[in-house]
């Protein structure tokens, strides 16, 4: 595995052959972790706004409920320092996996996408990367 990369209040260790870079805009940045082939992406986002009156854990439950309403199977998930839920589904072109996670007051959205012909190819490496998620100490208060 490569060196740990920090993004906002979290850090992750990208897998060998995967490159991490902050992308997006100043107002909507995200950490993109992409394999050398460039044909998939794991995206980490610290939600800039959680619905009014929700804490991080409630946001995770809210996201899970939205997915249940879409008749998607929702699975409990633990990823490094974070816990929450995972969903998996296929769109017309892509295989998608999403995680709504939290650690204390911090919410984290993780999202993996690839062409559906690659379904399952990166499952182990993505889970290994997510298992390396850490909440950085300066947020602990």
For the chain, domain boundaries: 5-139
Output the average pLDDT for the chain: 91
Cα Rg of the chain (Å, integer): 15
pLDDT digits (tens, 9 = 90+) for 55-97: 899 999 999 999 999 999 999 999 999 999 999 999 999 999 9
What homologous superfamily does CATH list for 5-139? Answer: Mog1/PsbP, alpha/beta/alpha sandwich (3.40.1000.10)
Beta-carbon count within 10 A of 139 CB: 13
pLDDT digits (tens, 9 = 90+) for 87-129: 999 999 999 999 999 999 899 999 999 999 999 999 999 999 9
Cβ 7 vs Cβ 44: under 8 Å: yes
pLDDT of residue 140: 44
% of the chain exceeding 90 in pLDDT: 79
Long-range contacts of 64-67 (CB under 8 A, 24+ apart): 64/100, 67/98
């Amino acid at each position: 595995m490569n060196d740990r990369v920090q993004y906002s209040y979290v850090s992750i260790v990208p897998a060998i052959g995967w490159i991490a870079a902050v992308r997006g805009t100043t107002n909507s940045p995200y950490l993109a972790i992409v394999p050398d082939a460039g044909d998939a992406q794991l995206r980490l986002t610290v939600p800039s706004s959680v619905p009014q009156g929700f804490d991080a854990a409630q946001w995770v439950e809210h996201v899970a409920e939205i997915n249940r309403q879409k008749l998607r199977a929702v699975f409990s998930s633990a990823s490094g320092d974070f816990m929450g839920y995972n969903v998996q589904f296929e769109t017309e072109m892509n295989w998608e996996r999403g995680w709504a996670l939290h650690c204390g007051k911090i919410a984290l959205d993780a999202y993996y996408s690839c062409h559906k012909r690659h379904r399952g190819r990166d499952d182990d490496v993505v889970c290994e990367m997510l298992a390396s998620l850490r909440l950085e100490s300066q947020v602990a208060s």
